[in-house]
Amino acid sequence: MIKVLAVGDVFGSPGMEFIRKNLRKIINAEQADLVIVNAENAHEGSGLDKYDADLLFESGADVLTGGNHSFRRYAIFDLLEKEPRVLRPLNFPPESAGEGYCIVPVKNGLRALVISVCGQVFMDPNDSPFRAVERLLSSLEGKYDFAVCDFHGEATSEKLAFMHVFDGRLQIVFGTHTHIQTADERLTDRGSGYITDIGMCGGEDSIIGVTYETAVPRYTQNIRMKGIPSKSDVCLRGAVFEIDESTLCCKSVKRIKYNEGNLK
């Protein structure tokens, strides 16, 4: 079996510090062969920089996926061009820096295609993730053994539609962006594993990672304050998928939650 560990949006310095201290322990506990981390909120809760990317790789990540905040830090453009394992959404404009996919060796000669895409519903305008992934799979036929996709999107319906369209062609599809882990993990008859959202790595005593003091005024007074990442009840949420090496089908999906209490 190949075990793929997917980590939800790492949110700001609390999430980064948890990753630094604990990701290796989690990788060992789950016996993960491939580690994919959504990093679009790693730097102060919005964007990614080289320091954060280096720290995530040093902590055990194999691939960093992106989202609608991927380009919030202009300094990331150079890294996107030089480091193929740092992804921005595939359906961003083709002139954008970097790539939306990479192919990485896993074990026993098998190759994983890892894709990052953004949704269109309630999100910034971009190309269709359906068309972008369809084109990519056609162009890479025979160059990989199984495929994993991080669908960074707001609407659960769009994520489910995406899973239906690529059922059996993408062996793993997981959602990110909402920071709320869903309880709908499933296996399909065509050999794919799916969960609508894997959650986040950050302070859970918060509003999707942001302190109450800086988030609530938006809803009660129509005042947008700079969001401060919460340091309260920091944990890591994500999912672990198992791929059968002989059939290349997904055989299990498991939601995970780690905090300091269950890592001792």
- Give the tens place of pLDDT for each residue, 66-102: 999 888 888 889 999 999 999 999 999 989 999 999 9
pLDDT recorded at residue 102: 98
Residues 6+ apart with CB under 8 A from 69: 40, 41, 46, 47
- Give the tens place of pLDDT for each residue, 19-65: 999 999 999 999 999 999 999 999 887 789 999 999 999 999 999 99
Q: Do residues 8 and 201 lie in contact, with contact meaning Cβ atoms separated by under 8 Å?
A: yes
Note the pTM of the prediction, 2 decimals: 0.96
pLDDT band at 119 (very low <50, low <70, confident <90, very high): very high
Provide the domain count of the chain: 1
Quick check: 169 pLDDT over 90? Answer: yes
Mean pLDDT score of the chain: 95
- Give the tens place of pLDDT for each residue, 157-168: 999 999 999 999
Residue range 190-217: average pLDDT? Answer: 93
Burial of 122 (0-12, 13-18, 19+ CB in 10 A): exposed
Q: Closest by alpha carbon to 46, among 258, 208, 239, 257?
A: 208
- Give the tens place of pLDDT for each residue, 237-247: 999 999 999 99
Q: Do residues 113 and 62 lie in contact, with contact meaning Cβ atoms separated by under 8 Å?
A: no
pLDDT recorded at residue 87: 98
For the CA atoms of 17, 50, 122, 103, the dihedral, rounded to the nearest 10 degrees, stands at -100
AA letter at 231? K
Residue 108 domain boundaries: 2-262
d(CA 208, CA 194): 22
DSSP state of 261: G
Quick check: 226 pLDDT over 80? Answer: yes
- Which range has the worst mean pLDDT, 43-52, 131-140, 200-209? 43-52
pLDDT band at 209 (very low <50, low <70, confident <90, very high): confident
CATH number at residue 121: 3.60.21.10
152 catalytically annotated: no
Given CA atoms 230, 38, 50, 23 in this order, what sign does their dihedral have? Answer: positive
Residue tagged active-site, from 69, 152, 177, 179: 69
Residue range 241-254: average pLDDT? Answer: 97
SS3 114: strand
Residues 6+ apart with CB under 8 A from 218: 224, 225
pLDDT band at 264 (very low <50, low <70, confident <90, very high): low
Quick check: 13 pLDDT over 70? Answer: yes
For the CA atoms of 242, 243, 247, 252, the dihedral, rounded to the nearest 10 degrees, stands at 30
